[in-house]
Chains A and B, each alone.
Chain A
Amino acid sequence: MSIPPELRAEEQPEDLLGDPQLVLADKRYEIIGNILGEVYEPGQAKWIISDMLDKVLLHKYLGLPIFLVTMWAMFHFTFQISTVFMEIITQFFNWLGTFTLQIPIPWLASLLTDGILAGVGFILTFVPPIFFLYLAISVLEDTGYLSRAAFVMDRLMMRMGLHGRSFIPLLLGFGCSVAAVMAARTVDGESNRLTTVLVSPLMSCAGRLPVYILIAGVFFPSRAGTMVFFMYILGIVMAIVVSLIFKKVLFREESSSLLMELSRYQIPTVHGSFRHMLDRGLLFLKTAGSYLLVGSIIMWVLSSFGANGYGVPIDFSFASMLGKLIEPIFIPLGFTWQIVTALIFGFIAKEAVIQTLSIIYAVGGTGTLAIALSASITPLTAFALMVFVLLYIPCLATVGAIRKETGSWRWTAFSIVYQLILAYIVALVVIIIGGFFIV
C-alpha cells in the first residue's frame, strides 16, 4: 500500500546523522501530526462548553451542593429503581424453594433451602442495586464529572490540611475498598499515602450496600433512598474527620496542592457505560458464586448443628454459641446474638452479614428476614447497625491490600483495631443521642 504524499514525512539527509531512535521517533510523530492534521477538528466549541460548565460545577459555593445533588440522585436511582427487580429475583428464589423443600432427605432439603437459597440466593437479590450503582458510577466517570467531584472536595479537604488527591481513591472506594487502598499509591508523600490507605475502608463499598438496602427498606421504607445516601455521606465525613485526627496526632506533613488534568465533558455512550457496569458487576457475581457459596454452607452447618448433633434448636447451635460468646460487648448497642454472629462473618466479606442473618433466621424458622429483624430490633438499633457495618473492620481482601500497600503488619493491625473502636463508639453515640429524641 502506498502512503499518500501529504502524509509522508519529509526526508532530510542530515536527520540520518543523529541517534537512529530519536530520528525514528521524530519521523513517527511527524507522520502522526500529518494524519491528525487531515482528520482531526479541534472542536473549539466543545472546549468552551466544558469551560463554561466548570464555572458552575466547580463554583466556590455551588460546587459542593451540586455534588450532593448528584450523589443523592445516584443513590436514589440505585435504590428506588431496583426494588421491583429485587422483588422479581426474590419471587424466583421463593419459587425454587418450593421444589427444594420437597426433597425427601431432610438435611439436604434444609441445606438447599435454608443454606444455599437463603444465603447465596438472598445475596443475589441485591444484584440489581449493585449493577445500577456501578452503572451510575460509570456514567459519572464517562461524563468527566467524577474527576471534578475530586476537585470540588479538594477545596474542603485542603482547608482541613489534607491532601486533595486523597479524595480520588476515596471515590473509588464506593465500588470496592481494595481498589481504593491500591489507588492510594498515587497520593504524594508517605504520611498522606498512609492516611489515605487507613481511611479508604471507611467509604461505603458495594458489599455494604445489601446491608443498607435491607435495613433501610425494613425500618425506614418511605426514606430508604435517602438513608442509603446518608450512609455514603457519613462514610465521606468520617473519612475526612479520621484523616484530620491522624494528621494532627500520628503524622505531621504539609499538604501539597492538587494538580490534575480535567478532561472535556463527554456524553457517555450506552455501550461504554453498560460495559463498565457488566465488568464490575460480574466480579460481584463471581464472589457470590465462589466463597459466599462456601460461606453459606459453613453457616448452615454452624446453624443446624450443635453439641447434640444435627437438628438442634437454633438457640443451641454452634452459631448461637459463637454469637453469645461476644454478645455481652454489644448489649449497649442492642445487637442480638444473631447480629453479632453475622458481624463476625462480615469480616470475610461485608455481603456475608446479610447472608448469615438470612441463614440463621431461615434455619430458626422465624419467617422472612425482614419480619424477623423488625421483631428483634428497634429502628434506632437498626440505624446503629448500619453505622457499625459502615465503619467496622474492613473485609479480608481489604486487610490483605492494606498489608501489601503499607508493607507492615503493625499498620494492618492498627487499621483493624481503630475501625472496630470507631464503629463501636459512633454506633453507641447514635444509640445515646437517638435515645434522647425517641424517649
Chain B
Amino acid sequence: MSRKYAAEINVPEEGKWSSILALVVGLSYGGVGGLQLLVSFGLAGPLIGFTDLVGGFLLMIVAAVFLTGVSPLSKDEQEGYAFIAVGYILAAVLFGLQIMVILTNSLGRLLGFENWQDWNIINDITPSLWLFIILMTTTGFLWIFGNLREKLIPNMKEDITQ
C-alpha cells in the first residue's frame, strides 16, 4: 500500500498531470539519448553535439528514471514524485557539468592556450545541455499555469454557485 505524503512535503494529491509530465520528459530524454547512440554507432547521420556514446547512455538512464515514475504517479501513489525529483537531479548534474566544461574551455581560449585554439562552443552544446533548458522552461511554465489554475478555479466555482 502506498503512503500519503502530500501534507508533509507539499506535493499534489492527484498524480495524473505529474505522470504525464514524467512520461513526456522520459520519452524526450529517451528519444534524444537513443538518437545520440545511433549517431555514435554511425547508424545515423552526424549531428553536432551528438557524438558521445556514453552521453547517450546517460540520457537513457535519466529517461528510465522518469519513465519508472509514470506508473506510480498515474495511480496517485506519491512515492512516484521521488522519480521525478531524482530525474531532475540527474538532468541538472549533467547540465551543470556541461556548463562547467564550457566555462573552463572558454577560459582556456581566453588565455590563448594552444590546445584551445580550435575550440568551438558549438561542439560543447550537447543534448544534456539544451534538454535541461527545455525541461526547466516547460516546468516553469507548468508551475505558473498550475498556480493560475488553482487561483482561478475556486473563483469560477464561487461564480457558478452564486
Contacts and interface: CB of A to CB of B under 8 A. Distances in A.
Nearest to B58: A69
Interface in A213-266: 226, 229
Contacts of B5: 48, 52
B107 interface: yes
Interface stretch (A7-15, A79-87, A301-309, A379-387): A79-87
Nearest to B105: A84
Interface in B1-51: 5, 8-9
Interface in A72-99: 72-73, 76-77, 80-81, 83-85, 87-88, 91
A331 B115 CA distance: 33
A76 B124 CA distance: 14
B115 A87 contact: yes
Residue from A56, A65, A88, A229 whose CB has the most chain B CB atoms within 10 Å: A56
A297 B127 CA distance: 49
A80 B113 CA distance: 15
A73 B93 contact: yes
Given A53-B82, A62-B64, A66-B65, A44 B8 contact: yes
A77 B86 contact: no
A73 B61 contact: no
Nearest to A82: B104
A81 B97 CA distance: 9
A72 B82 contact: no
Contacts of A91: 113
A66 B9 CA distance: 24
A108 B6 CA distance: 73
A66 B8 contact: no
A49 interface: yes
B61 A81 contact: no
Q: Which of the four size classes fits the interface of chain B?
A: 20 to 34
Given A48-B5, A52-B5, A87 B113 contact: yes
Nearest to B81: A52
B65 A55 contact: no
A70 B94 CA distance: 10
Nearest to B104: A84
B100 interface: yes
Given A66-B90, A81-B104, A52 B85 contact: yes
A53 B58 CA distance: 19
A48 B81 CA distance: 12
A77 B93 CA distance: 10
A44 B97 CA distance: 32
A77 B97 CA distance: 6
Given A66-B86, A83-B104, A84-B107, A56 B97 contact: no
A45 interface: yes
Contact of B8 (A45, A55, A59, A72): A45
Given A66-B90, A73-B93, A53 B85 contact: yes
B64 A77 contact: no
Interface string A33-62: 000000000001100110011011101011
Interface in A335-390: none
B121 interface: no
A68 interface: yes
Contacts of B94: 69, 73
Given A52-B81, A72-B58, A77-B97, A62 B68 contact: yes
Contacts of B100: 77, 80-81
B90 A81 contact: no
Contact of A57 (B52, B64, B68, B86): B86
Nearest to B110: A84
Contacts of B68: 56, 59, 61-62
Nearest to B114: A87
B61 A65 contact: yes
B105 to A, nearest CB: 7
Contacts of A48: 5, 8-9
B142 interface: no
A88 B112 CA distance: 11
B134 interface: no
B65 to A, nearest CB: 6
Contact of A65 (B64, B111, B115): B64
Contacts of B78: 52
A45 B52 CA distance: 39
Nearest to A80: B101
Contacts of A83: 104, 108, 115
Contacts of B101: 76, 80-81
Interface string A378-421: 00000000000000000000000000000000000000000000
Q: Which 6 A-B pairs have the closest CB atoms?
A: A52-B82, A84-B108, A56-B86, A65-B61, A84-B104, A45-B8
Given A55-B83, A69-B90, 6 more contacts: A57-B86, A66-B65, A70-B93, A76-B97, A87-B111, A87-B115
Interface of B: 5, 8-9, 52, 54, 58, 61-62, 64-65, 68, 78-79, 81-83, 85-86, 90, 93-94, 97, 100-101, 104-105, 107-108, 111, 113, 115-116
12 contacts: A44-B8, A48-B8, A52-B5, A59-B68, A61-B68, A65-B64, A69-B94, A72-B54, A76-B101, A80-B100, A81-B104, A84-B104
Interface of A: 44-45, 48-49, 52-53, 55-57, 59, 61-62, 65-66, 68-70, 72-73, 76-77, 80-81, 83-85, 87-88, 91, 226, 229
